[in-house]
Amino acid sequence: MARKIIYALFIPLFLVVFVSAVNAISITTESAQTAITNPSIKLKEQMQLLQKQKNAEAIKAKDEAMTIARTKKEEFKTRIQTIKDQRKKVLIEKIDTKLAKINQNQVTKFTEALVRFQGFLDKIKQSTTDTNVLADAAIAQTAIDTAKTALDIQTSKAYTIEIVDDATLKINAGTTVSQLRKDLTAVHKLIVEAKQAVQKLNTDRTLIKKEATSSAR
């Protein structure tokens, strides 16, 4: 019975998180787009300003996440001792450990993906002087930095089950699983946007080469 409950809680999470690969393509970093198209201020200065703003917001968000996580963990340690049914107590402890492991594993995979994207982007920036490509590179860098910030915050979060009484344990466990799924899906979206932005650079370079070849004929 306990095993069936675990499967019921985690199957939807695995379907969303693991089936959706980091291979989709798109970018919606509006702030970076605005910075690129505004001619009144130099691109580099605008990107630096945006980064400073994001850094300040990220630090605040991470601090808040860490504070909430510490509080939740302490409450969980205390409240789990109040569970009368020993079977339920063991089950909740297993789910708590499993949620932390899933979050850790996904953050690791996403981080590895961003490292690859950053490496590819760095090579492109070093190998071109074309303004269009460099403009898209700036957008891609913003997308990567945004995803990195989200991952940093995600690492600081804790997904502990709220324990009120034995009767509400299953419902509260499901709520916590859903929250983890929601948060990981949001981070995954940013990873996809970062990949999209980097992949666009390949298109830019291909078009430039074709145009150069046509002009030379």
Query: How does pLDDT run across 133-178, given as a tens digit for each residue?
Result: 899 999 999 999 999 999 999 999 999 999 988 888 999 999 999 9
- Note whether 190 and 146 are within 8 A (CB): yes
pTM confidence score: 0.71
Residue 9's pLDDT band (cuts 50, 70, 90): low
Q: Coil, helix or strand for 130?
A: coil
Residue 113's pLDDT band (cuts 50, 70, 90): very high
Instruction: Please choose, from the candidates 158, 206, 198, the residue with its C-alpha nearest in 3D space to the C-alpha of residue 23.
Output: 198
Kindly report the three-state secondary structure assignment for every residue of 30-54.
Answer: HHHHHHHHCCCCCHHHHHHHHHHHH
Q: Return the pLDDT at 207.
A: 61
pLDDT digits (tens, 9 = 90+) for 29-54: 444 444 444 444 465 566 666 666 77
Per-chain mean pLDDT for the chain: 78
